[in-house]
Amino acid sequence: MSNQFLTVPLSNPDTKAHARQCAITINNVMDGKLNSTGEITLTASSTTTTLSDARIGLNSVLLFMPQTANARTALNGLYITGRGSGSCTINHPSSTDTDQDLSYVIIG
């Protein structure tokens, strides 16, 4: 399935083109192609890392997937505080490892 439309304009004078854009986007969403992912590296030798992403809001749920063994270790004890408009604080165990790489999904 084509991934050419990540967002659909609210209106389009060409109704056929607009319907096609809507259908492609809905099909992509049904196939799990959501535009709500990102990547972050936890700050070394710190217990907090700020995640800045315009899609984060007060009611957002953030899901994390480790990309390295050191990130997997950091998941034990990881929690989120300070969710707000466009950012949150990731609280995590302090480690000198610089490869604590996580992928994330924002829902809501």
Model pLDDT for residues 55-65, shown as the tens digit of each residue: 999 999 999 99
Cα–Cα distance for residue pair 66/61, rounded to 1 Å: 17
Q: What is the CA radius of gyration of the chain?
A: 18
Give the DSSP letter string of 42-62: PPTT-SEEEEE-TT--TT-EE
Look over the chain and give the mean of its residue pLDDT values, rounded to a whole number: 92
- pLDDT reported for residue 32: 84
Q: Is the pLDDT reported for residue 28 higher than 50?
A: yes
